[in-house]
Chain A
Amino acid sequence: MQYSPENVMPFGPIHPSLKEPEYFKLILDSGKIKEVIPRIGYVHRGIERAAQDRTWVKNIYLFERICGICSFAHSLGYTQGVEILTHFEVPRRAKYLRTIVAELERIHSHFLWLGLVGHWAGFDTLFMWVWKDREHILDLEEAITGNRIHKSYVAIGGVRKDLPDGLRETLLKELVFIEKRARYYSELVQSEETLSIRTKGVGGLTQDTARRLCPVGPLLRSTGIARDIRVEDPYAAYDELIPQVQSSTDGDIACLMTIRLNEVLDSCRVIRDAVDKLPSGPVRNPVPRVVPSGESCQHVEAPRGELFYFVRSEGKSGPARVKLRTPTLANIMTAIEMLKGRPIADVPIVLTGMDPCFGCMDRVSVVDLNKSAQWSLTGEQLRQYGIEYYRRHE
Chain B
Amino acid sequence: MNLYQVVELLLFPGLTFFVWLAFIFEWLERKTAARMQGRVGPVVTGPSGIFQPVADFFKLASKEEIVPEYSDRFVLRWGPALFFAAPAIAVSFIPVIGLQSTLFDPLDLLFMVFLLSFSTLMAGMLGYASAGRFSTIGVGRLVVQYTSYEVPLLLAMIAPAVLAGSLSIEGIVAAQSGVWYIALAPIAFCVFIIATLAELEKPPFDIPSAKTEIVGGWMTEFSGNTLAYVKLTKSLSYVFLSALAVSLFLGGPQGPILFANGVAQGFMYAVYFLVKLFAVGFIIFAIRTALARVRIDQAARLFWTVLTPLTLAQLAVAIVIR
Q: Using a CB–CB distance below 8 Å, which chain A residues touch chain B?
A: 9-10, 15-17, 118-129, 132, 192, 194-195, 197-198, 343-348
A-B contact pairs, 27 of them (CB 8 A): A9-B133, A10-B133, A16-B211, A17-B213, A120-B212, A122-B203, A122-B206, A122-B210, A122-B292, A122-B293, A123-B293, A124-B203, A125-B33, A126-B292, A128-B38, A128-B39, A194-B294, A197-B294, A197-B298, A198-B292, A198-B293, A198-B294, A198-B295, A343-B295, A343-B296, A344-B214, A345-B210
In the complex, which residue of chain A has the Cβ closest to the Cβ of B289?
A125
Q: Is the pair B292, A345 in contact by a Cβ cutoff of 8 Å? A: no
- The yes or no answer to B275 lying at the interface (CB within 8 A) is no
In the complex, which residue of chain B has the Cβ closest to the Cβ of A342?
B295
> Which 6 A-B pairs have CB atoms at the shortest separation, nearest pair first?
A122-B293, A123-B292, A128-B37, A17-B212, A194-B292, A195-B292
Q: Using a CB–CB distance below 8 Å, which chain B residues touch chain A?
A: 33, 36-39, 133, 137, 203-204, 206-207, 210-215, 289-298
Q: Is the pair B290, A125 in contact by a Cβ cutoff of 8 Å? A: yes
* Other-chain contact of A192, B137, B292, B293, B295 (Cβ < 8 Å): B292
Q: For A194, what are the chain B residues with a Cβ–Cβ distance below 8 Å? A: 204, 291-294
Once A194-B204, A345-B213 are accepted as A-B contacts, the answer to whether A129 and B293 lie under 8 Å apart by CB is no
In the complex, which residue of chain A has the Cβ closest to the Cβ of B133?
A9
In the complex, which residue of chain B has the Cβ closest to the Cβ of A348?
B212
In the complex, which residue of chain A has the Cβ closest to the Cβ of B140?
A31
In the complex, which residue of chain B has the Cβ closest to the Cβ of A118?
B292
The distance from the CB of B290 to the nearest CB of chain A, in whole angstroms, is 6
Once A122-B292, A123-B292, A345-B207 are accepted as A-B contacts, the answer to whether A132 and B212 lie under 8 Å apart by CB is no
Q: For B297, what are the chain A residues with a Cβ–Cβ distance below 8 Å? A: 343
* Other-chain contact of B38, A129, A197, A346, A347 (Cβ < 8 Å): A129
Q: For B206, what are the chain A residues with a Cβ–Cβ distance below 8 Å? A: 122
* Other-chain contact of B37, A125, A195, A347 (Cβ < 8 Å): A125
- Taking each of B137, B210, B296, which has the highest tally of chain A beta carbons within 10 Å of its own beta carbon? B210
The distance from the CB of B172 to the nearest CB of chain A, in whole angstroms, is 33
Q: For A192, what are the chain B residues with a Cβ–Cβ distance below 8 Å? A: 292
CA of A185 to CA of B203, assembled, Å: 20
Q: For B133, what are the chain A residues with a Cβ–Cβ distance below 8 Å? A: 9-10
Q: Is the pair B292, A121 in contact by a Cβ cutoff of 8 Å? A: yes
Q: Is the pair A122, B212 in contact by a Cβ cutoff of 8 Å? A: yes
In the complex, which residue of chain B has the Cβ closest to the Cβ of A202?
B295
Q: For A121, what are the chain B residues with a Cβ–Cβ distance below 8 Å? A: 292-293
CA of A197 to CA of B36, assembled, Å: 23
In the complex, which residue of chain B has the Cβ closest to the Cβ of A116?
B212
CA of A120 to CA of B297, assembled, Å: 18
In the complex, which residue of chain A has the Cβ closest to the Cβ of B296?
A345
CA of A123 to CA of B37, assembled, Å: 11
Q: Is the pair A16, B295 in contact by a Cβ cutoff of 8 Å? A: no
Q: For A123, what are the chain B residues with a Cβ–Cβ distance below 8 Å? A: 203, 291-293
CA of A126 to CA of B206, assembled, Å: 17
Q: For B295, what are the chain A residues with a Cβ–Cβ distance below 8 Å? A: 197-198, 343, 345-346
Q: Is the pair B212, A16 in contact by a Cβ cutoff of 8 Å? A: yes
Q: For B37, what are the chain A residues with a Cβ–Cβ distance below 8 Å? A: 124-125, 127-129
CA of A346 to CA of B297, assembled, Å: 12
Q: For B211, what are the chain A residues with a Cβ–Cβ distance below 8 Å? A: 16-17
CA of A166 to CA of B83, assembled, Å: 63
Q: For B291, what are the chain A residues with a Cβ–Cβ distance below 8 Å? A: 123, 194
Q: For B210, what are the chain A residues with a Cβ–Cβ distance below 8 Å? A: 122, 345
The distance from the CB of A199 to the nearest CB of chain B, in whole angstroms, is 9
In the complex, which residue of chain A has the Cβ closest to the Cβ of B36?
A125
CA of A347 to CA of B213, assembled, Å: 7
In the complex, which residue of chain B has the Cβ closest to the Cβ of A122?
B293
Q: For A346, what are the chain B residues with a Cβ–Cβ distance below 8 Å? A: 295
* Other-chain contact of A15, B204, B215, B290, B292 (Cβ < 8 Å): B215
Q: For B294, what are the chain A residues with a Cβ–Cβ distance below 8 Å? A: 194, 197-198
14 other contacts beyond A197-B294, A197-B298, with CB at 8 A cut-off?
Answer: A10-B133, A15-B215, A16-B215, A124-B203, A125-B33, A128-B38, A192-B292, A194-B292, A198-B292, A198-B293, A198-B294, A343-B295, A343-B296, A345-B295
In the complex, which residue of chain A has the Cβ closest to the Cβ of B210?
A122
CA of A10 to CA of B124, assembled, Å: 22
Q: For B293, what are the chain A residues with a Cβ–Cβ distance below 8 Å? A: 121-123, 194, 198
CA of A364 to CA of B293, assembled, Å: 38
Q: Is the pair A9, B137 in contact by a Cβ cutoff of 8 Å? A: yes
CA of A368 to CA of B207, assembled, Å: 46
Q: For B289, what are the chain A residues with a Cβ–Cβ distance below 8 Å? A: 124-125
The distance from the CB of B99 to the nearest CB of chain A, in whole angstroms, is 40
The distance from the CB of B299 to the nearest CB of chain A, in whole angstroms, is 10
Q: For A17, what are the chain B residues with a Cβ–Cβ distance below 8 Å? A: 211-213
In the complex, which residue of chain A has the Cβ closest to the Cβ of B215?
A16
Q: For A9, what are the chain B residues with a Cβ–Cβ distance below 8 Å? A: 133, 137
The distance from the CB of B220 to the nearest CB of chain A, in whole angstroms, is 10
